[in-house]
Amino acid sequence: MFSPLPYESWSDTLLKLHLVAQMVGKVRLALHPPINHWWHVTLYVSPRGLTTGEIPYGERSFDLEIDLLDHRVIARTADKKSTSIPLDDRPLCDFYREFTARLGELGIGASISPHPYKCRSTVPFDQDREHAAYDRRAVETAFSILRDTDALLREFRSRFVGKCSPVHMFWHSFDLAVTRFSGRRAPKLEGADRVTQEAYSHEVNSCGFWFGDDKVREPAFYCYTAPAPPGMSGDAMVLLRYEEMRSAPDPRRALLDFLQRSYEEGVSAARWDRKALER
């Protein structure tokens, strides 16, 4: 449980996986009916990787799964058709062309933007020969971390009876998150883009995990309350380094304690009605 996975050891593979997840997520974005706070675009941890869940498509439906054990992206339809595209160390543009072609063979037409969304790459998918690295062992380790984290976030989620998101993977930032809501609307974020406006239309406390990026070059857990409560600056985000959690005598307890403590500090300062919202 919770194996080591330093950011520097697989950052190129992480970016490749992130870009593949964006392709898959953009198909869901294009075809799934909208749900509040952009919940219709996210991915979910499955027994074998990351999945879109069922996507309605006319009189049919289908799903996409990034299988991180067999290392392939699988498309399955309700009328018993399926196809798969291997995940390997070929250039991203080659994977993208096969991905779109295979969906077309299944009769699935999804027009998606080939431009990465707010991540470390700005190269369009169909032109990207730069990002090719794919370390299977690192990917399998990453998936084991996601699976264990998903289980603990689900346990943490169960303590809350108010409006709450699923535990889901946001492919734009590639973080696994769960978000609680106070039930009150938040002030409008002047100058924010429509994605941010919708995500933070109500008061939230959000927590989750990400593998690191070029700013925070290590995996970490986070928790924040938005809008920032009185006396707290920015988004009131607090971090727990993955290695700190992993090296604790009881990593599971260390993570749950961090999530609970950070939640309580944030929402108490924001004066949420905790008695009505918690078990």
In sequence order, what are the beta bridge partners of 66?
50, 73
pLDDT at site 215: 86
pLDDT at site 234: 59
- State how far Cα 172 lies from the chain centre: 8
Q: Which tokens sit at 49?
A: 């990787």
**pLDDT tens-digit series, residues 123-155:** 999 999 999 999 999 999 999 999 999 999 999
Q: Which tokens sit at 159?
A: 């303590």
Q: Whole-angstrom Cα distance, residue 188 to residue 273?
A: 21
Cβ neighbourhood burial of 198 (10 Å; 0-12, 13-18, 19+): middle
Q: Whole-angstrom Cα distance, residue 163 to residue 35?
A: 14
φ, ψ of residue 15 in degrees (nearest 5): -65, -45
**pLDDT tens-digit series, residues 208-236:** 999 998 888 999 999 999 999 987 765 57
Closest CA to 2 of 246, 248, 177: 246
pLDDT at site 74: 98
105 pLDDT more than 70: yes
252 pLDDT more than 80: yes
pLDDT at site 233: 62
Query: What are the boundaries of each domain within the chain?
Result: 7-127, 136-277
**208 Cβ contact list (under 8 Å, min separation 6):** 153, 175, 176, 177, 178, 221, 222
pLDDT at site 95: 98
Structure-model confidence comparison of residues 242 and 236, the more confident one: 242
Q: Whole-angstrom Cα distance, residue 65 to residue 116?
A: 19
**pLDDT tens-digit series, residues 13-68:** 999 999 999 999 999 999 999 999 999 999 999 999 999 999 999 999 999 999 99
Q: Which tokens sit at 95?
A: 């994977």
Omega of the bond leading into 56 within 30 degrees of 0 (cis)? no
